[in-house]
Copies of this chain bind each other. A is one copy, B any other.
Amino acid sequence: MKVPILKLGHILLTSIQEDLTDQDAVDFQNNVLTTVMHTDASGIVIDITALDVVDSFMARVINETANMVGLLGSEIVVCGMQPSVALTLIEMGRELLGVQTALNLELGLEKIKVLIEKRKTSWTKNQSR
């Protein structure tokens, strides 16, 4: 299953609509990274509202994707996590460490805008030193 990635100005929006197989998850990761690269996106919001289950592999893929996107110089926010998913992740001892989260897509977009602004500001500060 191909996960669609929408472009909203300099922000990408993507929504995982059903449980992904391990291969789908890897494809998704590649897709996210190349799209960030090709569209010069400053940030990406991943909506996981539709996911009822996040296994340890999926959690690792999300974590790694976030770190990779960060390395590319972009921001990432995961939004819409179901309570059951949060419960499983914490119980597994697998928090989404280093991943910014938000309650829903709207708040996720607000959060990513703040993160992008922060990154810009810190960059400008470093430049002016």
Q: Which residue numbers of A lie inside 8 Å of B, CB to CB?
A: 2, 4, 6-9, 13, 15, 17, 47, 49-50, 104-106, 109
Q: Which residues of B contact A6 (CB under 8 A)?
A: 6, 13, 15, 47, 105
Please state the number of chain copies in the assembly: 2
Residue in A4, A49, A50, A104 whose Cβ sees the most chain B Cβ within 10 Å? A4
12 A-B contact pairs sorted by A residue (CB < 8 Å): A4-B15, A4-B50, A6-B15, A6-B47, A7-B49, A7-B104, A7-B105, A8-B105, A8-B106, A8-B109, A9-B106, A13-B13
Hey, which chain B residues are within 8 Å of A15, CB to CB? 4, 6
A104 closest partner in B (C-beta): B7
